[in-house]
Amino acid sequence: MLFCLIFILPWITMSRMSLSADPENAKKQEITALYLYNFLLFVDWPKNAASDTIKLATYGAPRVYEALKPMAGKMIKGKKLVVFSLAGPEGLDDCCQVLFVGDTEPQILKELLKEVNGKPVLTISDKAGFVRLGGMVSFEDPGGLRKAEKKRKRFIINLSAVRKSRLKIRSRLLRMSDIVYDTEPVNLEMP
Amino acid sequence: MIRFFLTFCILLSGLIAPVDALSQAQKDTLVVCLGKARPKSLDPAVSNTRQVLTLYHNWGDTLLYRDPVTGKIVPGLAKSYRILDNGDMELTLRKGVRFHNGEPFNGAAVKFSLGLLKNSDSRVSRYLADIKDVMVLDDHHVRIEVIKPIPTLSQLLANVLFIYPPGYYQEVGKKGFGRHPVGTGPYRLVSNRGFTEMNFERNLRYFGGPKGIAKIPKLKIRIIKETIPQMEALISGEVDLMRSGCVNPEQVLFLKQADQVKVLSTDILRVYFLVMDARGRSGATPFKDKKVRQAVNHAINRDKIIRDAFNGFAVLSDSVVSPLHFGYENHVTRYPYDPARARKLLAEAGYPTGFDTDYYAINNESAAESILGDLKAVGIRAKPQWMMGKWDQFYQKFLKGEIPLAFMTWGSYSIFDASALLNHFFMADADACYGTTPEINRLLEQANGILGAEERGKLLSRAQKRISEEALWVPICFVEVICAMHNDLHFQPAMDEIDRYFLASWP
């Protein structure tokens, strides 16, 4: 009986909680993927950067990568979507049109942004402060499930960085954003 | 004892586990995202958006009803009906039916409703123009008197002749009714928070009509302004169902990957098209010239629009109506995508460097943008006036003749007959007519007075051919309606594009 109380109860409880937590987590990943997917719909790349594929790289975001993987090979606006996970900033040169950055050290983030600086690569993150470091688009805590309109995630665009990369963000996306910065990055430290 | 503790442990673990998606889904409320724009009224005589029409058929009823499975018209508030030799229709009304406020439904309510809907400021007056009056024979028998035989009369009675409670309407007035309508339908409105959230409850006194008692006790209708938050709400479980037609085709690829969401689609009557002001109602416009209209037809890359903006949920259309309309004619003049030919035609028309025009769009921004790019490529500098989701505002301007060029859509009030679109847009005296010819007008007038299907079909076919020859519109495509919902929800989109939320159920 004591065995039951000490071992079985916590085991059953924990396993139940972990099982039921999975759908929640899956939803968070799907919502992150939803945002990313829509950015692909609402962004135009310069003609010389356009090809018949849209290459989307993730860094420091294994779960987002997993959520996006099933979409690889699908056609978006006549282009085939390619999804891959980057091991480090060194593999970034001219390899993608979209870069999603998840958890990373400030120094590596700095290197990543430096690598794509001025290139037609859309940089996105779900980390607060990303756009102030020179990133283009961030949606803060996109995976959090909002319960009311007031708790909606903040969706921020750095137009200056977008312009520098010769990308065009459609007005629809700008209308949906909460804040549009049109300034140079203010610092290179993660807040 | 051990068995007892094991049972206890399992029960306890169940209690402390977070509520999972399925149990949330088993709630007693169906949450529906109706669309992006707030309706200005819930009265279908005031607002003819698909959102308002859809809601009407959930809180209101019509004399006849379209069975969503067979597509056949069956008795609704009427128990039976017969068409007389002169085209009039006699109906026996159901007894004992009451509106949500307790007011009785009877012949007087039918007569009152027709009078209200035939009023000149009603959105559906044109559809009912050939109905002369309602003769009340007694409380439960009426005769619909027609000016001339109406081929689509039973469909009009199922889709356009909405039934109002005379006492309540007169008490609260048009605005009051629009805010808080009262009908006989399976759901009754309980609260309306500024048209952004509307709560309905099951009408437990629903008469034994074909719709039946609503399966889910409560219905919450929400308006969510933008696409991403709409999809987010669906994925996160805040919303159970996106109204059919509310799902942007571009989102389908993504939604199909989402774990707890399923996407269904079905063919409907809806067509998308570009209207050019061939009559010059909006002022001096190049579209009065047939060569310019032909040029615009050749300028638009419809295959690209269908592939990219409609994500394949559409079929290229050469005619202005869809194959689901009776009288559809596909052997019409075709205008293949040919920008060089478009530029040549523009030059021949006296516009070698193109021209400027305002360009309105109310739906599918990607398609609207694609058209904008195609026009620019041949020299037509279209200034976009995006009125996405703002149908009521757009339509008011449209009827006033203020629109030189518009990308728009029409669902024909769910009437499966080409006349439901052609009469509305191509009869010379119609407010929505931006181009016609005496011949087209005559063909349509003739078709409206004939009951014989073969002869009508020929007249409607000829009218479509002439419309194409004159290049009055650019037909883009006819579409499938897309519906996205929680995986566990039992719900089917209908071919008449009217969601029956009362038929939705959880397992």
Task: Give the number of other Cβ atoms within 10 Å of residue A137's Cβ.
Answer: 26
The pLDDT tens digits of the residues spanning A85-130 come to: 988 777 676 788 999 998 888 888 888 888 888 889 999 998 877 8
Residue A18 confidence (pLDDT) above 60: no
Asked if B1 reaches chain A (Cβ–Cβ under 8 Å), the answer is yes
Cα–Cα distance for residue pair B50/B48, rounded to 1 Å: 6
CA pair distance B491, B499, nearest whole angstrom: 9
Interchain contact B231–A (C-beta under 8 A): yes
Which residues lie closer than 8 Å to B85 by C-beta, 6 or more apart? none
The encoded tokens of residue B179 equal 């805010």
Interface test with B, best of A1, A6, A16 (most B CBs within 10 A): A16
Question: Are B388 and B362 in contact, with CB atoms under 8 Å apart?
Answer: yes
Helices vs. strands in chain A: H and E counts, helices first: 6, 10
Tell me how many degrees the CA angle B259-B260-B265 measures, rounded to the nearest 5: 100
Give the amino acid at B477.
Answer: C
Residues contacting A31, CB < 8 A, separation 6+: A142, A143, A145, B232, B235, B236
**pLDDT score of B79:** 96
With CB atoms and an 8 Å threshold, state whether A27 touches B5. no
Q: What are the sequence ranges of the domains in chain A?
A: 30-181
Whether residues A31 and B236 touch (CB distance < 8 A) is answered with yes
Residues 340-379 of B with CB under 8 A from A: 365-366, 369
The angle at the Cα of B423, spanning B419 to B429, to the nearest 5 degrees, equals 165
* Mutation target vs A (from B7, B228, B364; most A CBs, 10 A cutoff): B228
Q: What is the pLDDT of residue B141?
A: 98
- Give the Cα separation of B197 and A112 in Å (integer): 44
- The single-letter DSSP state of residue B143 is E
The C-alpha atoms of residue B360 and residue B390 are separated, in whole angstroms, by 11
Q: Which residues of A touch B17 (CB under 8 A)?
A: 13, 16-17, 19-20
Residues of B in contact with A8 (CB under 8 A): 6, 9
DSSP calls for chain A: -HHIIIIIHHHHHHHHHHHHHHHHHHHHHHHHHHHHHHHHHHEE--GGG--SEEEEEEES-HHHHHHHGGGTT-EETTEEEEEEE-SSGGGGTT--SEEEE-S--HHHHHHHHHHHTTSS-EEEESSTTTGGGT-SEEESSTTS--SSGGGPPPEEEEHHHHHHTT-EE-HHHHHH-SEEE-S----SS--
Residue A189 pLDDT > 50 = no
Check: CB of residue A106 under 8 Å from CB of residue A114.
no
DSSP H helices in B32-120: 50-59, 107-118
> A38-60: per-residue pLDDT in tens?
888 888 888 776 678 899 999 98
Residue with tokens 């779960």: A63
d(CA B126, CA B428): 13
Phi-psi region of B257 (alpha: psi -120 to 50; beta: other; left: phi over 0): alpha
Quick one: which of B286, B288, B433, B274 has its CA closest to B357?
B286
Short-list B241, B245, B248, CA closest to B222: B241
Q: Which of B234, B198, B217, B237 is nearest to B502 (CA)?
A: B217
Domains of chain B with bracketed CATH: 29-208+487-503 (3.40.190.10), 268-481 (3.10.105.10)
pLDDT in tens, B431-485: 999 999 999 999 999 999 888 999 999 999 999 999 999 999 999 999 999 999 9
Q: Please work out, in degrees rounded to the nearest 5, the angle formed at the alpha carbon of residue B371 by the alpha carbons of A42 and B50.
A: 80
**Spatial CA neighbour of B310 closest among B269, B260, B363:** B363
Q: How many CB atoms lie within 10 A of CB B60?
A: 24
Specify the residue for token string 């009437």.
B415
Give the total residue count for chain B: 507
B258 at the A interface (CB within 8 A)?
A: yes
B248: CB partners within 8 A, 6+ apart:
B227, B364
The percentage of residues in chain A with a pLDDT greater than 90, rounded to a whole number, is 13
Which residues lie below 8 Å from residue B339, measured CB to CB, with a gap of 6+? B298, B299, B374, B377, B378
Q: What's the pLDDT at A44?
A: 86
CB atoms within 10 A of CB B340: 9
Nearest to B347 by CA among B383, B381, B378: B378
Q: How far is Cα B387 from Cα B406, in angstroms, rounded to an integer?
A: 10
Distance CA B424, CA B405 (A): 17
Residue A82 φ then ψ, to 5°: -115, 130
The domain defined by A30-181 folds into Rossmann fold (3.40.50)
Contact criterion met (CB below 8 Å) for A38 and B38: no
The DSSP result for B260-287, as a single string, is TEEEEEEEEEEEEEEEE-TT-TTSS-GG
Query: What average pLDDT does the segment A52-81 reach?
Result: 86
Tokens of B181: 């309508």
Of B468, B501, B478, B492, nearest to B416 by C-alpha is: B478
Chain centroid to CA A19: how far?
Answer: 25
Q: CB distance A41–B228 less than 8 Å?
A: no
Distance from CA of A47 to the nearest CA of B (A): 15
The residues, ordered by sequence, that sit 6+ positions from A65 with a Cβ below 8 Å of its Cβ are A58, A83, A84, A85
A181 contact partners, CB below 8 Å, separation of at least 6: A131, A132, A156, A157, A158, A159, A160
**Residues composing chain A:** 191
B488 shares contact with chain A (CB less than 8 Å) = no
pLDDT value, residue A42: 85
SS3 of B474, please? strand
Residue (of B276, B271, B314) closest to B295 by Cα position? B276
- Two tokens, residue B191: 């609260």
Centre a 10 Å sphere on the Cβ of residue A106 and count the other Cβ atoms it contains.
Answer: 12
Please report where in the chains the tokens 């001025």 appear, as a residue: A118
Contact A78 B232 (CB under 8 A): no
Predicted pLDDT at A184:
58
Q: At what angle do helices B107-118 and B166-179 cross, to 10 degrees?
A: 40
Under DSSP, is residue B7 helix (H, G, I), strand (E, B) or coil?
helix
Amino acid of residue B171: E
At B241 the three-state DSSP class reads strand
B3 in contact with A at a CB cutoff of 8 Å? no
d(CA A60, nearest CA chain B) in Å: 22
pLDDT for the residue A145 = 45
Question: By the CB < 8 Å criterion, does B238 face chain A?
Answer: yes
Rounded-to-5 percentages of helix, strand, coil across chain A: 45, 20, 35
Alpha-carbon distance of A124 to A98, in angstroms, equals 8
Write phi, then psi, for B260 (nearest 5 degrees). -105, 20
Which is it for strands B141-146 and B131-138: parallel, antiparallel or unpaired? antiparallel
Q: From first to last of the 507 residues of chain B, give the pLDDT tens digit.
A: 455 444 444 444 444 444 444 555 457 999 999 998 899 999 999 998 999 999 999 999 999 999 999 999 999 999 999 999 999 999 999 999 999 999 999 999 999 999 999 987 898 998 999 999 999 999 999 999 999 999 999 999 999 999 999 999 999 999 999 999 999 999 999 999 999 999 999 999 999 899 999 999 999 999 998 888 899 899 889 999 999 888 988 888 888 878 789 999 999 999 999 999 999 999 999 999 999 999 999 999 999 999 988 988 999 999 999 999 999 999 999 999 999 999 999 999 999 999 999 999 998 888 999 999 999 999 999 999 999 878 889 999 999 999 999 999 999 999 999 999 999 999 999 999 999 999 999 999 999 988 899 999 999 999 999 999 999 999 999 999 999 999 999 999 999 999 999 999 999
Strands B64-66 and A122-125: unpaired
pLDDT at res. B3: 52
Distances (CA, A) of B177 to A79, B174, B183: 49, 5, 10
User: B301 in contact with A at a CB cutoff of 8 Å?
Assistant: no
What secondary structure letter does DSSP report for B31? E
HSE-up (13 A, CA, CB side) for residue B159: 25
pLDDT tens per residue across span A146-162: 444 445 567 788 988 88
Strands B141-146 and B89-93: antiparallel
